[in-house]
Structure 1
């Protein structure tokens, strides 16, 4: 976890220096970034009702309402600090629009995300373990503890995700174009992540296997 700083020219960023070389003003320490990130992620993905937040079908909650909940737990946090968390996040976990905020992906609560754009990639990828890959080739890719399957737009990203869970990553190639043509809804969460309720096995074209010596 990296600290959040503010560059007068380029805005919020994470790490010790901005891309321009400027060592900006410290906004949040690493410890506070982790605490705030975990809590905001939980509010927007898993337990909005627990804290009285009204979430619509597309995952949006009122930013001021969320800020009040966050402030009750962390007195040092406010809307500006929450915006710093969002704007500095290279993984694009969150989205701000007018007076609302939402998580782009990772929901375990029921959401539809109907206002997200359709993914237009012909191929998408899903990183998994060697043990799970064969089962998915037979029954398809289904979400576990979340409402959507998270697909990657690049082989590299899917391999990176799989490598967090296994030493023998397998990447499944998904025929997203055919899936869409046959009625499977696939939406674009951000540049690297697409979402679907599930991917039936017939749209999985092949396995891409990496070994421990592979550098590609």
Structure 2
């Protein structure tokens, strides 16, 4: 059985701020902020609140996915009394996948939503984008196109390398599908640039190939 990686603890470097792991990139061991176990629990409720079930938690979210940070803090503290705004800030600033963004006292998830959300990112200007999948799914995708599964948007990668990383989470034999983003865009298909990933609705098969 494959062993799950131990969650990294949160620390703070006097020069570079929050980081995850044993030492900062500069070599400083930093000061302790939060254990890996608590960081993992905090990460799960943040993800749930901003991507999946804000209403169930009583969190008000606007149509573009933004919530008030102090409201998020109150909701999290109702579940985990040990959590502070500093812990939440540390989680956002050290997220290695760039899943969240902050604007003043508001915060939102960039991608990964299962709820209906209208993200207001600019359209991507790339000519090609990529999607990593398994051998079994590749044939099906070529036949019916790309469609969101358990998420509001299809998630696309900007490079082949990133697509491989995503696919390897689910399969040992990744297949990379390329998308003619330029042609899709010219024909009215909107693809948003969310930073780490690109987001789209259903993509018909005529725009994709292995």
Q: How far apart are residue 117 of structure 1 and its match?
A: 2.3
Match for residue 52 of structure 2? 46
Indicate which of 100, 110, 117 corresponds to 1:94: 100
Q: How far apart are residue 178 of structure 1 and its match?
A: 1.1
Match for residue 103 of structure 1? 109
TM-score between both structures, scaled by the size of structure 2: 0.94
Gaps of 5+ in 2: 1-6
SS of 1:173 mapped into structure 2:
strand
For 2:32 and 2:192, the matched residues in 1 are separated by: 36
For 1:13 and 1:187, the matched residues in 2 are separated by: 29
Indicate which of 13, 16, 33 corresponds to 1:7: 13
2:197 pairs with 1:193: yes
Summarize the alignment of residues 22-171 of structure 1 with structure 2, pairs less than 5 Å apart.
22-114=28-120, 116-171=121-176
For 2:58 and 2:169, the matched residues in 1 are separated by: 34
Q: How far apart are residue 45 of structure 1 and its match?
A: 0.5
Which has the higher mean CA deviation after the structures are superposed, 177-186 or 139-148? 177-186
Q: How far apart are residue 167 of structure 1 and its match?
A: 1.7
For 1:40 and 1:122, the matched residues in 2 are separated by: 34
For 2:202 and 2:15, the matched residues in 1 are separated by: 43
Report how many residues are paired: 204
Structure 1 segments (4+ residues) deviating >2 Å: none
Gaps of 5+ in 1: 208-216
When the two chains are superposed, the root-mean-square deviation of aligned CA atoms in Å is 0.9
